[in-house]
Amino acid sequence: MPTPFAQASAAELQRHLAELTGHSAAHVRPYGKHLLIQMHRDETVDTVARLTEVARNKYTAAFRSHTGRWEPLPTPAADLKQTADLVATLLAPYLEP
């Protein structure tokens, strides 16, 4: 079961993504030390990216490639808002509803 801090971080990230993308199709689910960004399209759910907490309120980002492997995004560790901005910019086509 996710910690209250992880659930709060997931809710905050989901709010940031909704502001940045202009829609609410991206959902965030806490999973251990990761925050999974999932797109809900029709009846399917695609996990597009994940943020990993590497220090207190510092996150790195990775995207799921076509092979299913996690590939790191070329971004430095940053706070949640900055990381959300980078993910929304770099993965904009994958975050379209």
Specify the pLDDT at position 23: 92
Tell me the average pLDDT across 51-62.
94
Domain with 60 in it: 4-95
Number of independent structural domains in the chain: 1
User: Rounded to an integer, what distance in angstroms lies between the CA atom of residue 20 and that of residue 43?
Assistant: 24
| Residue 9, number of CB atoms within 10 A of its CB | 20
Specify the pLDDT at position 1: 66
What is the band of 39 on the pLDDT scale with cuts at 50, 70, 90? very high
DSSP state of 10: H
